[in-house]
């Protein structure tokens, strides 16, 4: 099964698999956290005991999911030191500080608040417990913020510089890293997707109750809250997805061109491909269905700015690789003589392209005698596999618009108080359950696979970032992770199923 994969590919596969398992739990946790805060706010304002019962029941499902998220998330951070040792060495000064803050948020603040939420119902006043629930929701989202800041820095490395003395990237401005435009758009887009997930989950479970005529008042109220929250979140996802597209056009032009299968630069404003069959070998598309001007308007927000195509971007990569070669050679001279003024000037001139020069290490160790074929191969590596990016991006977008339509219909039924009268909508609510995860996984695949060949965009190639492990150890660890995480996932599903079947009556309605 793994014979054809290299050690680098196995390391990437292991991190990708563990990340996907972890992200089965994260979006639901994000979405339910704010839904709990909303429901408990209604309880405190109205004193209606059913809202307390709703908060406790959905809080139980939130807690199960939260525990599984923590269990699957811990090992991901350790993988930076095991499977990605050179990555940790090269950017540890920057990446480590962000992960340390996230760790404090996830494993200290959230854990404390979780305890207060579950055990504070009889110990705290209604107002104090409500404050705990709101702070828990904010802390849960804050934990996601720091992870997404770290990931955004990999997509668009700002606030840092390469130190030729230590041969490492070092932090220059934490402010720039925190306010990285990619981080801001990525955070709001991702957490909004989590809110959609929480809303769809709540609606699916509530629809199941209504179909079986169980806990009817509980289910109707839950669906009313979820559909309003979900509609606002779905709109947010789509609007902020547009912002993510704009930031990609500024910082990751090759990723954007690959997502759109744009092999050559088009006259502005570029058309959006609604459907096509990309052929990477021939660098052309067949069966194209285009929407004129739309891509140019979304990606550049203008009628005159061009979006460069893959072929043109690859040609630019050739120039940057040649500049990076010069930066690397100057760096070698500086290691011999730190006061070599000519080498200092040469390095300062070309240091921004050093990462592109490192792409040559895949093909040669002699940077003084690099062939044109080596440069051409390295430039070709900057082009990701177009077909999966093209398809996954459209899957994500399609799921987003389907969910928006679903919430719009549900919101109308909510206004008319007709949820229980439309069995087809209730059944569709249950069928919608996997859709947010499909959209989220598709989006993450586009974000991470589209960054290749970079571990850090334009700075560190992926093949240099990995540890020097043999394939057998990686196959063993990957198999163990898959087995262990599958068991955890099975337990999570069984626990959720058990308490959903039991229903909210396990919690009293006393005020």
pLDDT beyond 60 at 308:
yes
Task: Assess whether pLDDT exceeds 80 at residue 188.
Answer: yes
At residue 510 the predicted structure's pLDDT band, cuts being 50, 70 and 90, is low
pLDDT in tens, 34-63: 999 999 999 999 999 999 999 999 999 999
**Dist CA 51 CA 173 (whole Å):** 46
Q: What is the 3-state secondary structure (H, E, C) of 179-226?
A: CCHHHHHHHHHHHHHHHHHHHHHHHHHHHHHHHCCCCHHHHHHHHHHH
More confident site: 296 or 326: 326
CB of 442 closer than 8 Å to CB of 392: yes
Q: What angle do CA 206, 212, 217 make, to 5 degrees?
A: 50
Residue 278 falls inside a structural domain: no
3-state secondary structure of 304: coil
Asked if residue 239 is part of any domain, the answer here is yes
Is 118's pLDDT higher than 70? Answer: yes
Residue 349 covered by a domain: no
The pLDDT value recorded for residue 509 is 58
Domain annotation covers residue 397 = yes
Any idea which of 66-75, 223-232, 344-353 has the lowest mean pLDDT?
66-75
- Look at residue 451 and tell me if it is in a domain: yes
Tokens for 111?
């854990």
Determine the structural domain holding residue 210 and report its residue range: 25-158+180-255+388-502
Provide CB contacts within 8 A for 184, sequence distance 6+: none
CB of 333 closer than 8 Å to CB of 340: yes
Please tell me the predicted confidence (pLDDT) of residue 383: 94
Q: Of residues 383 and 246, which shows the higher confidence score? A: 383
Task: Provide the number of structural domains found in the chain.
Answer: 1
pLDDT given for residue 162 in this prediction: 92
DSSP calls for 61-93 = HHHHHHHHHHHHHHHHHHHHHHT-HHHHHHHHH
Three-class SS state of 434: coil
Q: What is the mean pLDDT of residues 292-297?
A: 84
- Mean pLDDT is lowest, of 420-424, 445-449, 493-497, for 420-424
pLDDT of residue 70: 84
The predicted pLDDT at position 511 comes to 53
Considering only residues 159 and 250, tell me which one the structure prediction assigns the higher pLDDT: 159
Burial class (CB in 10 A: 0-12, 13-18, 19+), 139: buried
The verdict on residue 315 lying in a domain is no
Q: What does the alpha-carbon distance between residue 194 and residue 403 come to, in Å, rounded to a whole number?
A: 13
Higher pLDDT, 410 or 103: 410
Of the pLDDT bands very low, low, confident and very high (cuts 50, 70, 90), residue 362 is very high
- Listed in sequence order, the residues at least 6 apart from 378 whose beta carbon sits closer than 8 Å to its beta carbon are 317, 321, 356, 359, 360, 362, 363
In a domain, 47, yes or no: yes
User: pLDDT, tens digit, for every residue of 170-184?
Assistant: 999 999 999 998 888
- What average pLDDT does range 254-259 have in this prediction? 91
Enter the pTM of the model: 0.92
Calculate the alpha carbon distances from 6 to 9, 365, 482 in Å.
5, 20, 19
Q: How many CB atoms lie within 10 A of CB 483?
A: 10
CA distance 243 to 188: 10
Rounded Cα distance between 314 and 192, Å, is 34
Please say whether the beta carbons of 32 and 137 come within 8 A. no
Phi, psi dihedral angles at 277 (to 5 degrees) = -120, 100
pLDDT tens-digit readout, 119-141: 999 999 999 999 999 999 999 88
- 317 band by pLDDT with thresholds 50, 70 and 90: very high
| In a domain? residue 413 | yes
Q: What average pLDDT does this structure show over 477-487?
A: 91
88-111 pLDDT per residue, tens: 999 988 888 888 888 777 677 888
């Amino acid at each position: 099964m793994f014979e054809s994969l290299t050690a680098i590919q196995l390391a990437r596969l292991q991190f990708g698999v563990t990340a996907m398992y972890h992200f089965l739990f994260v979006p639901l946790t994000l979405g339910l956290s704010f839904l709990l805060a909303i429901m408990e706010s209604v309880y405190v304002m109205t004193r209606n005991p059913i809202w307390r019962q709703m908060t406790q029941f959905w809080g139980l499902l939130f807690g199960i999911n939260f525990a599984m998220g923590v269990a699957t998330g811990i090992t991901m951070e350790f993988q930076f030191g095991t499977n990605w040792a050179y990555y940790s060495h090269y950017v540890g000064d920057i990446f480590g500080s962000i992960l340390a803050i996230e760790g404090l948020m996830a494993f200290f603040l959230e854990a404390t608040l979780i305890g207060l939420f579950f055990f504070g119902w009889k110990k705290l006043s209604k107002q104090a417990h409500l404050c705990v629930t709101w702070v828990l929701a904010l802390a849960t989202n804050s934990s996601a913020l720091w992870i997404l800041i770290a990931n955004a820095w990999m997509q668009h490395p700002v606030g840092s510089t390469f130190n030729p003395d230590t041969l490492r990237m070092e932090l220059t401005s934490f402010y720039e890293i925190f306010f990285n435009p990619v981080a801001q758009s990525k955070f709001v887009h991702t957490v909004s997707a989590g809110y959609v997930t929480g809303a769809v989950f709540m609606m699916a479970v509530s629809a199941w109750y209504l179909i079986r005529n169980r806990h009817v008042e509980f289910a109707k109220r839950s669906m009313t809250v979820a559909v309003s929250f979900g509609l606002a979140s779905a709109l947010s996802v789509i609007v902020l997805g547009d912002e993510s597209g704009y930031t990609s056009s500024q910082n990751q032009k090759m990723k954007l061109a690959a997502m759109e299968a744009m092999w050559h630069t088009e006259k502005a404003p570029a058309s959006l491909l609604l459907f096509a069959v990309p052929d990477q070998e021939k660098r052309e598309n067949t069966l194209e269905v285009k929407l004129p001007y739309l891509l140019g308007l979304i990606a550049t927000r203008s009628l005159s700015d061009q979006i460069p195509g893959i072929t043109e971007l690859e040609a630019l990569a050739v120039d940057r690789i040649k500049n990076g070669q010069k930066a690397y050679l100057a760096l070698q001279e500086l290691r011999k003589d730190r006061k070599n003024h000519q080498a200092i000037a040469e390095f300062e001139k070309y240091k921004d392209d050093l990462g592109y020069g490192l792409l040559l290490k895949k093909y040669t160790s002699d940077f003084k005698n690099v062939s044109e074929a080596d440069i051409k191969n390295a430039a070709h590596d900057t082009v990701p596999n177009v077909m999966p990016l093209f398809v996954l991006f459209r899957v994500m977008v399609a799921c987003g618009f389907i969910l928006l339509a679903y919430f719009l219909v549900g919101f109308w039924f909510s206004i008319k108080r007709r949820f229980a009268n439309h069995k087809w909508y209730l059944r569709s609510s249950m069928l919608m359950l996997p859709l947010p995860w499909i959209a989220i996984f598709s989006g993450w695949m586009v974000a991470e696979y589209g960054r290749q060949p970079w571990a850090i965009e334009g700075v560190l190639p992926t093949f240099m970032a990995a540890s020097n492990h043999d394939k057998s150890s990686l196959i063993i660890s990957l198999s163990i992770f898959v087995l262990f995480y599958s068991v955890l996932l099975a337990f999570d599903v069984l626990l959720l199923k058990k308490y959903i079947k039991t229903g909210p009556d396990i919690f009293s309605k006393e005020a």
